[in-house]
Amino acid sequence: MTRDPLSLSIDGLKLGQKFWALISFLCLLAYLVISIYPFLWMISSALKDNREVLTNTSLIPKEIHWEILVDVWNRLDFWQYFLNSLMISVPIVIGTVIIYSLAGYGFSVTKFWGKEFLYVFFMGLIVVPTIVVLVPLVQELRAFGLIGRDASKFATYVGLIIPAINGGGPWAIFLFRSYFDSLPRDLRDAARIDGCTEWGVYARIYLPLAIPAIATVGITNFISSWNAYVFPSVVINNPDWYTLPLQLRFLDMQTVVQWNVRMAGSLITVLPVIIAFIFLQRYYIRGLTAAAVK
């Protein structure tokens, strides 16, 4: 019986509301087209002749070149670099979620000396310029033996993963804390009275409820670490350890940039992200439902 703002259900609404419903539907549709266009462009360019990519603005190729995709797939040695990328991105996501959901809980629920100051400090880190931290980071990694021509694959990846976790930290803290703040405090108080420890409240009540926040933090960090280019290119010295985006650079070793090859490579690289995204999105929607029921 509720009549909500900008409702999309047409039944039993006045004419004006029908009008607005139509307008909002059309706007959503237009937005949908704009959202999907570059993605379609990527697919269409991967199927075009190289010259056509830059000179034919139509989405439909004059002639479909499947062989580009097949050729790129074969040359990319996909599984090796896919595994490399996975070995970096998955620990980053897991580490980020664990460490910063803990921190988010600490900042949201518990009390300790200097909490607010520490929180504001972390928030300040969001706006610290990241552009010139590469050099000192590499010096540190060197001091820890995590970089260099003699570092093992494991050490190199650790050197990639931990700074990336730290880099995503302030945002994750912020999102987790905001999310935990939105949960009713009675939940925690009741559990504490029932004899649940602080750790128990976090692990058994707050964390399961935080699936939407976990999904948001997870998706964001997965995408950014999967697509990362500059930092991995600085840290990794052995071509066998390259991630997918790094390896992609070597597909077009021609005199001229092969745009179609590049697009085919991009398509293959983002494919895992899209699959992971669809997979995570289910949890995300389920989490939303859980949060709405509370």
Partner 1 sequence: MANSATTSRLSQTMANLLTATRPGQTVWKRLKKNSGFLFVAPAVLIFLVFGLYTIIYSFVLSFFRWKGSSIFSLFPPVCEAPGCAFWGLQNYKDFLYEDKGVAKLFWMAMENNLVVALVVPAATVLISLLIAIALNRAGRAVPLFRTIMMLPMVTSGIAVYFAWSSIYLSDGPLNAMLNAAGLGFLSAPHGWLGTANLALPALMVVMIWSSVPLAVILYMAGLQTIDQELYEAATIDGANSWHMLWYITWPLLRPVTFIILIFAINNAFQGFDLPLLMTKGGPANHTQVVGLRIFSFGFGDDLQLGIASAMGWVLFLLVFVLSLINLRLFRPATEETRE
Partner 2 sequence: MKQKIFYTLSLLLVLVIILSACAQAPAAPAATQAPATNEGSGEAAVELTMWTWKVNHVPGLEAVAREFEAQTGIKVAVTAVSPDDAYRTKLVTSAQSGDLPDIMSYWTGGDDYWEKAGSGVLIDITDKVDDQWKNVFIPGTFDKTSVFSQARYDTCQKDPKCLYKDVQVGHAYSVPYFGGSAYMVYASKPLMEQAGLDPDKAPATAEEWLDMMKAIKEKTGVAGLVTGVQNPDVSARWLFNPLLMTSCGQEKYDAIYGGRDTFEDPCAMRVFNFMYQLAQEDLWTADILATDIGPSEAVMGSGKAGFIIGGTYTLSGIIANGMKPDDVLAFGVPPLKDSALDHLSLGMDAFIEAGITRDSQHPEEALQFLKFLTSPEAAALFAKTVGDVPATKLDADPAKVGDAMAGLVAVLNPADAPFGKSNAEPYIDEIFNVLRPGLQAFITGETTPEELAKDVQAASEAGWPNHGGPKPAAD
* Residue list 65-94, contact with partner 1 (CB under 8 A): none
Structure tokens at 163: 């700074």
- Cβ-Cβ contacts under 8 Å for 173 (sequence gap 6 or more): 100, 103, 104, 107, 119, 122, 123
Q: How far is the CB of 153 from partner 2 (least distance, A)?
A: 10
Q: Which of 123, 222, 139, 236 is nearest to 176 (CA)?
A: 123
Which residue in the block uniquely carries the two structure tokens 């050197």? 159
Among 31, 66, 154, 279, binds partner 1 (CB under 8 A): 31
The dihedral built from the CA positions of residue 83, 85, 87 and 90, taken in this order, carries a sign that is negative
Q: Which of 15, 34, 143, 292 binds partner 2 (CB under 8 A)?
A: 143
| Number of Cα atoms under 13 Å in the Cβ half of residue 147 | 21
Question: Is the CB of 39 or the CB of 240 nearer to partner 1?
Answer: 39
Which one of 61-69, 72-80, 86-94, 166-174 is the stretch in contact with partner 1 (CB under 8 A)?
Answer: 166-174
How far is the C-alpha of 293 from the C-alpha of 124, rounded, in Å?
A: 34
* Of residues 8-47, those binding partner 2 (CB under 8 A): none
Among 38, 254, 292, 294, binds partner 2 (CB under 8 A): 254
When binding is defined by CB under 8 A, the residue of 166, 252, 283, 290 that contacts partner 2 is 252
- Closest by CA to 191, choosing from 173, 213, 172, 207, is 207
Q: List the x/- string, 165-204, binding to partner 2 by CB under 8 A.
A: ------------------------------x-xxxx----
Pair of tokens at residue 136: 């000192």
Q: Are 166 and 128 in contact (CB under 8 A)?
A: no
Q: Is 185 in the site for partner 1 (CB under 8 A)?
A: yes
Does 266 engage in binding with partner 1 (CB under 8 A)?
yes
Residue 79 C-beta: closest distance to partner 1, Å: 19
Residues in region 142-161 near partner 1 by CB under 8 A? 143
Please report how close the Cβ of residue 241 comes to partner 1 at its closest, in angstroms. Answer: 20
Which among 76, 65, 105 is positioned nearest to 207, based on CA atoms? 105
**Nearest residue (CB) to partner 1, 22 versus 64:** 22
Contact criterion met (CB below 8 Å) for 73 and 261 = no
What residue ranges bind partner 2 (CB under 8 A)? 50-51, 54-55, 134-135, 138-139, 141-152, 155, 158, 195, 197-200, 229-230, 233-234, 237, 239, 249-250, 252-257, 259
